[in-house]
Structure 1
Amino acid sequence: MTMFTNGFSTLTMPEDFEKIPPKDEFTELYLVNTKIPMSIKFLTTPTLSGLPEIMDGIEKNLEGNDRIDLVTSDFILINDNLYYMVVSSFSDGENQVRRNEFMYVEDDNLYVFEFTYPYADRELDDFYLNIIRSLKISVPKYIVEDGSYRINHQ
């Protein structure tokens, strides 16, 4: 079992996935498995919004997008923590693709897990829930104050 840590949070990485360098400041981990095919992203971003506001914003954005179908949107408990889960599907031109996103807010930090894979694949509930359940937050990465944020150097 391989672990990912950035000094702020730790989680289990699945076997047979290749680590890809992140392309933005908020993506902590980006993994790809071309055999499945599947990608996994883990992001941390500063936020002053709670999960209900995040849900409202995402649902409004998806309603206005004809290319993405909202499959389900709900709150769920994982490890006694409340997560917002949104499942959507879209076409990449050749295949129908499914994206499962799980969002959790703690200490003004939004933690996002994004799993993208072909819609035809079997359900992967245990696979992605085991990764999410492995999340351990040592300290919040971002300190949000006075309308801006900074990295927590504690």
Structure 2
Amino acid sequence: MTMFSNGFATLQMPKDFEPIATKDEFNDMYLVNTTIPMSIKFSTTPTLVGLPAIKDDIEKNIQNNDKITLIASDFIPINEDIYYMIVSSFSDGENEIRRNEFLYVEDNNLYIFEYTYPYADRELDDFYLDVIRSLKIIVPKYIVEDGSYKLNKEE
């Protein structure tokens, strides 16, 4: 088993997935498996709002985008925590793509797991949950104060 760690969080990387370098400030890990094909993105962003407000914003944005179809949206327990799960689909013109997202807020940090794969694939609930359950937060990545944020660096 391969573990991902960035000094702020650790999690298990699924077998047969390759890391892809990304320059997005908030993207902590981006993995792909071209044989499935599937991508997994793990991100952390600073936030001052909780999951109910995030849920409302996401659902409003989806309603305003006719290319995305909302399949499911709900709060679910994972381990001892409450996550917001949203399942949606969209078409790139040739393929129908499914995206399953799991969001969690702790210490003004929003943790996002995003799984994207061809819509026709089987349900992968245990696969998603195994990766999410492996998340261990070492320290918050961002310190949010006075309406702004900074990277949490030991000083």
Q: Residues 1-150 of structure 1 correspond to what in structure 2 (within 5 A)?
A: 1-150=1-150
Amino acid at match of 2:25: E
TM-score (norm 2): 0.98
**Offset of 1:47 from its aligned partner?**
0.3
**Offset of 1:96 from its aligned partner?**
1.0
Quote the RMSD (CA, aligned, Å): 0.6
Q: Report SS of the residue matched to 2:128.
A: helix
CA distance in 1, matches of 2:114, 2:53: 19
**Offset of 1:113 from its aligned partner?**
0.1
**Offset of 1:50 from its aligned partner?**
0.2
**Offset of 1:67 from its aligned partner?**
0.2
Amino acid at match of 1:36: I
CA distance in 2, matches of 1:22, 1:3: 18
Deviations along 1:57-80, one digit per CA (max 9) or x if unpaired, are 000000000000000100000001
* Identical positions, percent: 73
Amino acid at match of 1:150: K
Q: Report SS of the residue matched to 1:70.
A: strand
Q: Which runs of 5+ in 1 are unaligned?
A: none
Moved over 2 A (4+): none
